[in-house]
Structure 1
Amino acid sequence: MTVHLRDVEVDGEITDVCESEGRITALGRGECAHRTGGPPPVTVDGAGAALLPGLHDHHVHVLALAAAWDSINCGERLDALRTAPGTGWVRGVNAAVSVDRHALDAVVPDRPVRVQHRSGGLWMLNSAALAAVAHVLDDSADVERDPAGEPTGRLWRYDERLRPALPDASPDLQAVGRRLAARGITGVTDATPDLDPTAVALLRQLPQRLLLLGDPLGEGPRKLLLRDHDLPTFDELTATIAAAHALPRPLAIHCVTRESLLLTLAALEDVGVVPGDRIEHAAICPPEAADWLTRLGVAVVTQPDFLRTRGSAYLRDVSPHDLPHLYPHARLLAAGVRTTASSDAPFGEVDPWRVIATAAERPIGAEESVRPRAALDGYLSAPLDPGGPARRVAPGAPADLVLLDAPLEVALRSPVAVTVRATWIAGERIHGGQSAG
């Protein structure tokens, strides 16, 4: 099927765009003339609104996002767990508090409950849930225990080990894809580490283009999760990096503390950097680390919207010495570090336009704010080159396209108010229906 997008804004000019068989085939006034011998094209009137390449979220956890949309959002209080429908397991997310099984028993005593801390690294279970998963609890420090040796209910980085003991509830990833497409997202980088073949196969059901950092057989960077309460030694980390590079694969290294970032940069300098090496988060990045990143040529995938959603906690809990160095953006770009904003959904806000708005008007560290267009360009960078050149609407490019409801300059005046009229992935309209035409 051929689609003729008429009167759309591309690179500031009103023009026409034609796509067929998943590719952009023509760009320019009069370039989309119908060729005889086939069905007539589907015509979409752009009315002067911006047509962009599809946005790519460079750091998201798809299966966790799908589960979060079907979970109880706890926030600062756990009382909402009592409202969960049904009689089986209760799943809570985004908890701002860390509690043990006794605290959860006081809220929901008669159903198994598991609640994920908003950091994403901690699960908290009540007594009924602990009894149900007892056969998968190991003797590692990841299972917190009281002085008597009994599990407290707090499990660290335990997702993969916990999964076999939980009810099977495969998410509808087509529905997840439609919700992402409604915000203009046509591709995602899933940052979940150590995916098994079942999870990889399930993720392939997502209609978006997909880069899997946790696929041991995949392309692109391999996720390396540094556990901040149990960091590797320098020799251990250099050996891990060298082994990945020998595959050959670059690494996407999770760094949310000053210590983990400096350790990682020292190890990368010792082993050597390969194209595609990147830092996930760089949550605390002091000036000396920024200079190091510049010298090494390592990209950074950051999450400025955490400053909005977690700002009060950062102001309370983060050392005043580190506050100026939270999620730097403008400073890294100015230093030549390829840097892009991303969501880290479901632990952060998935809406790219909300993230772009926060990147432009940060509630903490205003000097690190960037222009909305610069933040958008990060979402337009290629999956294997986060923070690199923005993809463009051009003949021969994939027909991954997003039609807004206004010219780009108008849309970027208030990114949170952006409406996505239609989204195409490989030429197939995923969002917008016929009303977009």
Structure 2
Amino acid sequence: MAELLLSNARVVTMDPACPSAQAVLARAGRIVRVGADAACRRAASAGARVIDCCGMVVLPGFIDPHLHLLAWAAALRAVDCTDARSIDEIVRRIRERAADLPPGTWVRAVGYDESRLAEGRHPTRWDLDAATTAHPVRLVHRSGHALVLNSRALALAGITVASEEPPGGVIDRRLSDGEPTGLLLEMNEVVARAVPPLPRAELVAGLREAGKRLLAAGITAVQDLSHTNGPDAANVLAALARESGFAPRLLPPAEGWPGDAAALSGDVARPIKVMLRETGERPVPDVAELAAIVRACHARGRAVAVHAVERRTVTAVVEAFTRAGVRGGEARHRIEHAGVCPPELARRIAALGLIVVSNPVFLAESGDRYLRDVAPADQPYLYDTAGLAAAGVRVAAGSDAPVVSADALATVRAAVTRTARSGTVLPGTGLDPERATALVTAAAAHAAGVEAELGRIAPGLAADLVVLSAEPHRAHARVAMTIIGGEVRWRREPDGEDRAYW
């Protein structure tokens, strides 16, 4: 593997021992020197590839420690409703896709947001029936925690007026007669039993596109946090990555809690994902059950990553760890999201040594909706990375793709500015730019347990780097080049064209 020298750069290392430099030299996929231009040039061999960065910013490659790769790949092959602004538009798009499919084939659609629709409501089964009755239709909400089925899909899923709701799930019903409207909350697993798997070729094509988008965003490593992952998920993802040419590094994926610790795989690098469902009167599982799960995983040397968004569920996680007598520290126990976390709760999280993997990019994507729907008293604490850091919590940030696109620059900007896409600034305190950059570099590496390999620019670490046109918190910053293992995997050409190298 040839040497690579990035020279004439503003290198931000995220390494306290050497915070800044002018050049980086990589050999055999690893960083061998960081420092002044002249010193790195002297250390380079005659055959080294030299890239003049023309004063651009060089950072460690961005890391996304919380996304859902296969769901994102599938979403990229589905009917895209993310920019739909009416139910009529959703129906039209689904009708067009159904016209290209044999009767009886499932139509998959994703990304609708009822708050952005002219009607101001969720679609119903009857709306989707207007698109097609010859095909079952599944329309997934942008959050991934709700979906709408047409009448044919409801029948195939066995959901009727007599159906009981599973623990943590909700079947929305018509008030007049109790008939399901097609809207289901936290019932993905129930519906998934009726939906055939996406053809492998489609999944591979979706993963290939996801890989290109990650490279264009400067993201060099990802961790899949899907609670549906089984013991074999790492092998499945690795095989699909090879088949699709997926270039970013695959970090150890989460493993869903199987209900019995004896059924866990033996891979201690993989965190155990627990979904704390928030739709009922109390979280599911409850505090006592969650404490038992935490104790069982901790005893086996496994980190626990608990999905908790609302204040009450974040509180339930803290209560469960307290009751379990378990602290984080090197165990790397995590709270995923912590969407509303006031200072008193942040201090308790810090005292327990828990990591929070937040999603400040949601402030950009959904900030206007939060201002409308979230209680004013809670708004300053929405994805409050500054407040968490001030309390002493180790905080990182992920995208939760496909909920939103994986965009590390948008994450950094949102953490600093707390600004919605409309330009409205949400209440609360922004994070300083250096710490915001750490959310997607050094802190993300620590959350995923790979800080000895990734997240900093230092001799001995993997040569995963991103070259930016400006500091990452600047509105005009763009990714110019993405490097993995000392090899350029994506770059923006002088003519403005994007090019991926597979």
TM-score computed with the length of structure 1 as normaliser: 0.87
Q: What residue number does 1:242 align with?
A: 295
Q: 1:383 to 1:330 in 2, by over 3 A?
A: closer
Q: In the alignment, is the contact (CA less than 8 A) between 2:384 and 2:428 conserved in 1?
A: no
Match status 1:397 vs 2:461? yes
Task: Give, in whole Å, the separation in 2 of the partners of 1:196 and 1:274.
Answer: 24
Q: What residue number does 2:53 align with?
A: 46
Deviates more, 1:178-187 or 1:99-108: 99-108
Percent sequence identity is: 34
Cα offset for 1:160?
4.3
Q: What residue number does 1:79 align with?
A: 88
Q: Which amino acid aligns with 1:422?
A: M
Give the alignment's Cα RMSD to 1 decimal: 3.2
Match status 1:251 vs 2:275? no
Q: What residue number does 1:95 align with?
A: 112
Q: Which amino acid aligns with 2:182?
A: G
Q: Which amino acid aligns with 1:402?
A: V
Task: Give, in whole Å, the separation in 1 of the partners of 2:215 and 2:225.
Answer: 19
Task: Give, in whole Å, the separation in 1 of the partners of 2:163 and 2:247.
Answer: 37
Give the secondary-structure state (helix, strand or coil) at the position aligned to 1:56: strand
Q: Which amino acid aligns with 1:100?
A: T
Task: Give, in whole Å, the separation in 1 of the partners of 2:403 and 2:31.
Answer: 35
Q: What residue number does 1:25 align with?
A: 32
Q: In the alignment, is the contact (CA less than 8 A) between 1:14 and 1:48 conserved in 2?
A: no
- Structure 1 unaligned runs (5+)? none
Q: 1:190 to 1:138 in 2, by over 3 A?
A: farther
Residue deviations 1:150-191 (CA, integer Å, cap 9, x gap): 654334434445445325232332332121011110111212
Q: In the alignment, is the contact (CA less than 8 A) between 2:215 and 2:489 conserved in 1?
A: yes
Match status 1:6 vs 2:14? no
Task: Give, in whole Å, the separation in 2 of the partners of 1:268 and 1:380.
Answer: 27
Q: What is the 5 A alignment of 1:192-271?
A: 192-196=226-230, 199-204=233-238, 205=241, 206-209=246-249, 210-214=251-255, 216-217=264-265, 218=267, 219-230=269-280, 231=283, 232-271=285-324
Q: What residue number does 2:143 align with?
A: 119
Q: In the alignment, is the contact (CA less than 8 A) between 1:181 and 1:423 conserved in 2?
A: yes
Q: What residue number does 2:196 align with?
A: 166
Q: In the alignment, is the contact (CA less than 8 A) between 2:395 and 2:443 conserved in 1?
A: no
TM-score computed with the length of structure 2 as normaliser: 0.77
Q: 1:143 to 1:294 in 2, by over 3 A?
A: closer
Task: Give, in whole Å, the separation in 2 of the partners of 1:14 and 1:265.
Answer: 41
Give the secondary-structure state (helix, strand or coil) at the position aligned to 2:255: coil
Task: Give, in whole Å, the separation in 2 of the partners of 1:65 and 1:19.
Answer: 32
Residue deviations 1:13-47 (CA, integer Å, cap 9, x gap): 563322122111233424344777xx922222212
Q: 1:208 to 1:347 in 2, by over 3 A?
A: same
Q: Across the two proteins, how many residue pairs are aligned to each other?
A: 430
Deviates more, 1:317-326 or 1:354-363: 317-326
Task: Give, in whole Å, the separation in 2 of the partners of 1:26 and 1:434.
Answer: 27
Task: Give, in whole Å, the separation in 2 of the partners of 1:287 and 1:412.
Answer: 25
Q: 1:245 to 1:162 in 2, by over 3 A?
A: same
Q: What residue number does 2:171 align with?
A: 144
Task: Give, in whole Å, the separation in 1 of the partners of 2:467 and 2:141.
Answer: 36
Match status 1:413 vs 2:474? yes
Q: In the alignment, is the contact (CA less than 8 A) between 2:294 and 2:321 conserved in 1?
A: yes
Q: In the alignment, is the contact (CA less than 8 A) between 2:5 and 2:40 conserved in 1?
A: no
